[in-house]
Structures are given as structure tokens and as C-alpha cells.
Amino acid sequence: MSDQNACVLGMQWGDEGKGKIIDLLSGDFDVVVRAQGGSNAGHTVVVGDEKFVLHLVPSGILRKGVACVIGNGVVVDPDQLLSELEELRGRGVDAAGRLLVSDRAQVVMPYHKALDAAKESALGDNKIGTTLRGIGPTYADKAARTGIRLCELIDPSVCRTMLQQNIPFVNKVLQDVYGADPVDPAETIDWAVHRGETLRPMTGDTVEFLHERTRSGKRILFEGAQGSLLDVDFGTYPFNTSSNSSVGGMVTGSGLPPREIGRVIGVLKTYTTRVGAGPFPTELDDETGLLLRERGGEFGATTGRPRRCGWFDVVAARFSAKINGVDELALTKLDVLAGMDPIKICVAYEINGRRTEAFPARAAALAAARPVYEEMPGWRGETAPGGRLCPEAAAYVDKLCEVTGAPARIISVGRKRSETIIA
């Protein structure tokens, strides 16, 4: 196993605060790689007094001298990528020459977003609550082998031919299945060819790039997006995303072998949140839930939707630790819990009258799960006066480490880089 690389992954339903952790660590790495997901992600990073929200560009871009890679496993929305780069440039961060996008990455087409919206609307009460960024339909095309990758987008004649084949089928689905508006073929082709031209200079063979950097001893940080409970294989199916957001996705989405993943840093928020539909056993529909949302600023970085909030779920966290082989934890937003007394943690579920500590495969079983809570004393004052955790906060951290079986190396007690305890 590489002792110089690392991988940062969310262990819950996303929004664990990965952006801050990656930003903190990226100063120690030469390359930061995104390997899955797309602009459904929203990584918030606070540098000094400035707040950046990144969706597609790896958070490492905010560190001078760090090279960034968007790997083959990512689905790339050209408009989103270009507007993000433009915004970064406007704020003094020039990505030119520092960002390489995989020629094997799939492109999110305007019709993928139309299909995402049409499907969600057709699902009515059963909708997944997607970010409407076209993620599901793009990964569906990838698996169906009808997707368009960057290497095809940047070749106008290939791109045109593929779109001429795809669009009539897509429009049939949009119109006949969903009763939605079709996309305009000429407009779509024109859009694609232009975006291909703009993206060509930053598109390349990221597999070769990453292997070459590895050979020359450069340190690589993998930036996970979403969270393990949104993984298409291990998440709360079908209420999840369409990529492998757990550790396996880092391998297939980058082209680096498992031994290069390095140490796995699992990011855990010290309570739980979820955005979109799907089961959430520890969700609080009361004042405590509202307080967590308000104090934690729990509103989606991508969609602005209010996040559902609840107590820490040990069953879910342990499952994540298991499938990812988490070596160490980064615990976030501990300061949000200040003033809550007692603090509850869910140590098991009761499903149809039976106690279990296993995370169920079926969303219906999880929806029926009643949390079994243990209580811990809270704290009233500052979480980390003088940079050291108060005794109750320290005991809470110890408990989370004990139940997940991994040590906490980073504890975040505020949004800023400086509001962090490194153990």
C-alpha cells in the first residue's frame, strides 16, 4: 500500500464536510483527483474570509502548485465546469495548466438533465430527490454504452455522428414516455461541438498522467464526492446516486490500482444529515432537528435545499467503515453540538420488533427501523477552548472512534482552516 497517498471519503449521506478536510490536507499532496460523481457534489471551502463552493473542480485547486485531475469515473457537465473555472479566475484562482480532465470521462448532455427532471417529475411521490444535474441518466448511458466521452466530444465529426444517433431516441423517450419537451438536435450538436473546442486544451490521458506522477514519487490525494450511503451498490437503493462513492470508485474512476489509494480517511459529521428522499432512521422532526440545521448551516451547497438532520448513527457509520476499510477518521462540525445536552447516538435499530446492528439492504427495512439510542453528556461552553477539546466533547469523540474502530486524526470545530484540531 502506498504510504504517501490518501483518499478522503464521506461515510454518511454526503455533506460531511469533505471540502474542508481536502483543503486542509491538499497542502501535503502534489495531485488531487476526483474519480466519481459530477456537479451533484458541492464542496464548500473557506479560505481566510472567502467561501468557495466547488462542484466539479477538485478542492485542491485552491492550493497553489497542486495539480488537479478530473478522472474517467466523473461525469462532466461542460457548462458547469467552464462557469466554475470562470468564477475561480474572477476570484484570483487560475486553473490554467493545473487541471487535466480525463478523455474517458462521460459528458453530461443537456438531454441528460431534461431526462433527470422528466423522470423525477414522473415518479411523483416516489421521487429520489436528485440534484437534477443529469447524473443518473449520464451514468445510465455509460452503462448502456451510448454515452459520449470527452475524447468523442472534442472530435466534432465523431460527436456529431453519435448525437445524430442518440437524439432521436432520447426525444422519443422525453416525448412519448414522459410527455416532456424534446431537445433541439441542431442546437444540441452545435452546443456540444463548441464545448468540445473549449475543453480540448484541458482534456487528456489522466491515466498516463497519474501513473507518471506516481512513478516520480508525487503524492496523490483522492477526493471522494457524495457519501458511502449514497453509493450505487451500498447505498440506500434506490435512494442514492449513480456512482460508486465508496472506495472502489476511487480505483475504477482514476485508473490507479488499489495499492495506490493509500490511507483511507473517512469523513464523519458528528451528527447525521441527508438531502433528498430516502430512509433516515435518526431523523429529527423536532426542535433539535431544526437547531442542528440552523446551527450547522445545513442547506445543500448545490441545490440550496434544507438538509434533513438527526443524531449520529453508529450502525450506518460502522457499515461505511467496513466497506471502505477506513484507516482514520476526520470528524466534522463538532462545535454544532455545543449546548445540546444530552447528545444521543443510535447504537442499533429495531426493525419489526427485532434488534439489529446490521445495515439493511432494503430501503423499506431501513424506513421501518426505530433507532435504539444511548445518551452522552453534552457541553455548554466552547467546544475546544484554547484549541483543546472540553472533557465532554473529548468523551464524545472517543465514543465515535470506539464504535467505528478507527482513530480520529482531524477534528473540525468550525468552518475555517484554523478551527481544526489535528490529533
Residue from the set 6, 135, 232, 317 that interacts with ligand IMP by CB under 6 A: 135
- Tell me which stretch binds ligand IMP (CB under 6 A): 123-131, 178-186, 347-355, 373-381: 123-131
Residues facing 355 on adjacent strands: 350
137 binds ligand IMP (CB under 6 A): no
Number of residues that bind ligand IMP (CB under 6 A): 21
Site of grid cell 437503493:
237
Give the 3-state secondary structure of residue 10: strand
Q: Pick between residue 196 and residue 235 the one whose CB is nearest to ligand IMP.
A: 235
Neighbours of 126 (CB within 10 A): 10
Residue from the set 19, 58, 71, 136 that interacts with ligand IMP by CB under 6 A: 136
Compute the least distance from the CB of residue 379 to ligand IMP, in Å.
28
Q: Pick between residue 41 and residue 338 the one whose CB is nearest to ligand IMP.
A: 41
**Furthest C-alpha separation in the chain:** 65
412 binds ligand IMP (CB under 6 A): no
Residue from the set 133, 195, 318, 333 that interacts with ligand IMP by CB under 6 A: 133
DSSP type of residue 415: S
Compute the least distance from the CB of residue 280 to ligand IMP, in Å.
11
DSSP type of residue 65: T
Reply yes or no on whether 205 is catalytic.
no
Residue from the set 130, 244, 272, 282 that interacts with ligand IMP by CB under 6 A: 130
Q: Pick between residue 147 and residue 196 the one whose CB is nearest to ligand IMP.
A: 147
Cα 253 to Cα 36: distance, rounded to the nearest angstrom: 6
- Peptide bond preceding 360: is omega within 30 degrees of 0, i.e. cis? no
Compute the least distance from the CB of residue 273 to ligand IMP, in Å.
8
- In the range 392-411, which residues lie near ligand IMP by CB under 6 A? none
x/- string (CB under 6 A) for ligand IMP, residues 322-361?
A: ----------------------------------------
Residues 6+ away with beta carbon under 8 Å from 139: 75, 106, 232, 242, 243
Asked whether the beta carbons of 128 and 276 are under 8 A apart, the reply is yes
Residues 6+ away with beta carbon under 8 Å from 132: 113, 116, 117, 120, 303
Cα 286 to Cα 309: distance, rounded to the nearest angstrom: 10
Cell (9 digits) for 124: 411523483
- Tell me which stretch binds ligand IMP (CB under 6 A): 22-30, 57-65, 129-137, 363-371: 129-137
Cα 301–302–303 angle (5° rounding)?
A: 105
- In the range 37-76, which residues lie near ligand IMP by CB under 6 A? 40-42
Of 23, 43, 116, 313, catalytic:
43
Site of grid cell 474519480:
35
Q: Is 298 exposed, middle or buried (0-12, 13-18, 19+ CB in 10 A)?
A: buried
Virtual CA dihedral for 241, 242, 248, 251, nearest 10 degrees?
A: -120
Cα 344 to Cα 346: distance, rounded to the nearest angstrom: 7
Q: Pick between residue 4 and residue 303 the one whose CB is nearest to ligand IMP.
A: 303
Reply yes or no on whether 231 is catalytic.
no
320 binds ligand IMP (CB under 6 A): no
Residue from the set 131, 166, 214, 404 that interacts with ligand IMP by CB under 6 A: 131
Residue from the set 8, 12, 14, 232 that interacts with ligand IMP by CB under 6 A: 14
Q: What is the DSSP string of 262-321?
A: -EEEEEEESSEEE-SSS--TTB--SHHHHHHHHHHT-B-TTT-PBPEEE-EEHHHHHHHH
x/- string (CB under 6 A) for ligand IMP, residues 270-289?
A: -----xx-------------
128 binds ligand IMP (CB under 6 A): yes
Q: Pick between residue 276 and residue 310 the one whose CB is nearest to ligand IMP.
A: 276
Q: Pick between residue 128 and residue 345 the one whose CB is nearest to ligand IMP.
A: 128
- In the range 214-253, which residues lie near ligand IMP by CB under 6 A? 225-226, 230, 240-242
* Residues annotated as part of the active site: 15, 43
Q: List interacting residues with ligand IMP (CB under 6 A).
A: 13-15, 40-42, 128-131, 133, 135-136, 225-226, 230, 240-242, 275-276
